[in-house]
Structure 1
Amino acid sequence: MTKTAFTLAALALAASAVHAQTGNSSNQPGVYGLLGVGQGHLNADCTGVQACDRNATGGKALLGYSFGNGFALEGGYANFGRFHASQGAIGLNARPEALSLGGAYTAALSPDWGLTGRLGVARVRTKIGADVGTLSGSDSESKTQPIVGLAVNYALTPSARIELGVDATRAQYQGEHTNVRMVTLGARMAF
């Protein structure tokens, strides 16, 4: 994960060194896609648990349509990562993932920089797994939840941008819910 982030950052710096001033492509109508990787965080209470890892590597993919005035409609998939906890011979894991549909607005901060806010609904599926010795089992539950996001992006070319963002929603299983968020670094490409 760290190598990927450093590689993307190095590519962005190299591209910006040779980059001429470009117009803000976030205000051009058309289809775009975004792929990002990052770190997810599950806001779970780990009190009394021997080992608990509430951070995991995750990723997201979005497909959007920009209307040309900063507003866009987006659909996407996010995998917030696989979180682990254990107590003696008992191991638990949780894997929240979401299918989302929502709106986005990108404000041009300068010709190259933009700030994007996202608001939508997500069908969040929480997969739970348990291991006790050699026995294992799993279950999942899906709920519709709100999803929000905020990102800053930088234009490398008129059609390619890098984006650093955070997305947040809720994971729920058997009436218990917890907040889950993910910070990602990704590439956005207009088609």
Structure 2
Amino acid sequence: MLKNKIILTGLMAVVMVSGSAFAQVAQVPQVYMGATVGKGQWNDDCKNVVSCSTNSDTYKVFGGYNIDKNFAVEASYFSLGTISANSSAGGVNATSQVKGKGFELAGLYKHEFTQQLSGFAKLGIASIKAEGSGSVAGVGVSNGSTTSTQPVFGLGATYQLTKELALRGEFETRKIKFNGDKEAVNNVSIGMQYSF
């Protein structure tokens, strides 16, 4: 009889703890989506060129799922923008451009500082396509692309404006591979996130 009471008490405790855990998960909106825009800095040394631009306009659309209040998984499509270079040899001008875009899957660890402000760290993997084009004296001479799988790291923060809508700021770094070269692209962005 005593053994049955102990088992029953144990089962009730498990049910109560489980119910509390499910209630906490239910309080966290599970699905979210959003978009950001920003600036990218490509780590290109610009050797042997007259001029070059290594800053680019970037954007990203993303969707995520909150596993609980501390962990989430997120998928995104992003554009790293375009960089360009100009060179001159024997009075002939040449230009070249490289642009990057890709898909990404990442895990997020989140920490709540206040009811409105949360921070997160992100680690994931991205499939990045780099596309290059060039011209000499205004005539197109080369096009090519390279697709590679690269890690992505990020740090960011969200600030709740309403229960569903949040402002999101983020710093990310990725590697991009093109013609055998691998360069880092650092990106700072800001945007909005909506939770369902």
> Scaled by the length of structure 2, what TM-score is found?
0.81
C-alpha separation in 2, matches of 1:173 and 1:182: 18
| Structure 2, unaligned runs of 5 or more | 1-26
Matched, 1:173 2:166: no
Partner of 2:96: 92
Deviations 1:143-162 (A, max 9, x none): 00001111111110011110
2:130 to 126, 129, 148: 126
C-alpha separation in 2, matches of 1:97 and 1:188: 21
> Scaled by the length of structure 1, what TM-score is found?
0.83
Q: The residue matched to 1:44 in structure 2 has which SS?
A: coil
CA contact (8 A) 2:104 2:125 kept: yes
Matched, 1:69 2:69: yes
- The root-mean-square deviation of aligned C-alpha atoms, in Å, is 1.2
Q: Which has the larger radius of gyration?
A: 2
Matched, 1:188 2:193: yes
4+ residue runs of structure 1 moved beyond 2 angstroms?
Answer: none
| Structure 1, unaligned runs of 5 or more | 1-26
C-alpha separation in 1, matches of 2:137 and 2:161: 51
CA-CA distance at 1:29 after TM superposition: 4.0
**Larger RCO (CA within 8 A; separation ≥ 6):** 1
Matched, 1:143 2:148: yes
Deviations 1:136-188 (A, max 9, x none): 13110000000111111111001111011111110101221000121101101
C-alpha separation in 2, matches of 1:122 and 1:116: 18
How many residues were matched structurally? 165
C-alpha separation in 2, matches of 1:133 and 1:174: 22
One-letter amino acid of the structure 1 residue matched with residue 175 of structure 2: R
CA-CA distance at 1:68 after TM superposition: 2.2
Residue range with higher mean Cα deviation, 138-147 or 43-52: 43-52
C-alpha separation in 2, matches of 1:62 and 1:148: 15
CA contact (8 A) 1:34 1:61 kept: yes
Q: The residue matched to 1:158 in structure 2 has which SS?
A: coil
Partner of 1:4: none
Deviations 1:22-48 (A, max 9, x none): xxxxx7141101200000111001133
Deviations 1:87-140 (A, max 9, x none): 131101110112101111211011110101111000011111111123213110
CA contact (8 A) 1:165 1:184 kept: yes
C-alpha separation in 1, matches of 2:53 and 2:114: 39
**Identity across matched positions, percent:** 25
C-alpha separation in 1, matches of 2:128 and 2:192: 24
C-alpha separation in 2, matches of 1:135 and 1:48: 20
